[in-house]
Amino acid sequence: VEAGCCTDAAQSTPYPGPWFILVDRETRRHKAENKSDVFPRLESVRLRYDIVDFSLGRLAAPEAGRHESPDLAGRMIDPDGKRRIGEAWQGLRRIAEGAKEWPPKKIAVCAKHLCGAATDIALRSAASVEKAEMRLCVATCCHHSCDYDLYVARSFLAEVGAARGRREFEMLQKSCGWSFGVASADKRRIGLLSKRLLDLGRLHFLRAKFGQRSTIKAYCDPRLSPENLVLLV
């Protein structure tokens, strides 16, 4: 499952076998899954709606394989979104019918530079899966766009004294923007530490759900990209 997949996708792989569910709210041209001459053996379904309206736990539930059009959101969404879900479910049913068993025993979730609060939405969606073996790879970015109501580890920030409530969280969030592009070295250091705190909170959330195998690593030199951390399960 790739959240916020844009035009490219994790399905751009030479290995056959997996089914790919691609979630993106925008209409895209030149989509990777349409390149059948390059990836002829891969099966994929693209869900064109906001990841905030997508619950991976509901999709991976045993009853989902039996429903004509399950409620993947668990709440009311806009009528156009419901129509798109209904259309996409025809493709999703191919996954359930083509799989040897449903629900799937193994699920991998990935996202490339999922901005701000979108990372927290994707993490919460992954954590909603009850029984499947989960693997996750999410590269974080744009921490200044995080949202207090959506952030997954507010209690962690309060416990370490970094943000005890909305006002302090918003101060922490805004300071993330200092991590590069400002003249003051002290401000850049504070901005970088603020970003790391938010990601450590996310790691705390993942370890509470998936255990100590959850980790965070740098995947490239910071001179190539200052947004160089990835959450892994």
- Say if residues 198 and 151 touch (Cβ distance below 8 Å): yes
**Residue 56 has which token pair?**
């991976």
pLDDT tens for each residue of the chain, 233 residues long: 888 765 555 545 544 556 777 777 666 555 555 555 555 555 667 776 677 877 788 777 776 655 555 555 544 344 555 566 566 666 666 666 666 677 788 899 998 878 899 999 999 999 999 888 999 999 999 999 999 999 999 999 999 999 999 999 999 999 999 988 888 999 999 999 999 999 999 999 999 999 999 999 999 998 888 889 999 99
Q: Most distant CA pair in the chain: distance in Å?
A: 58
Residue 65 CB-half CA count within 13 A: 13
Burial class of 198 by CB neighbour count within 10 A (0 to 12, 13 to 18, 19+): buried
N-term to C-term CA, the chain: 14
Q: What b/e sequence results for 143-182 when a residue is b if at least 16 CB atoms lie within 10 Å of its CB, and e otherwise?
A: bbebebebbbbbebbeeeebbeeeeebeebbebbbbbeee
**Residue 170 has which token pair?**
């918003």
Regarding pTM above 0.95, the answer is: no
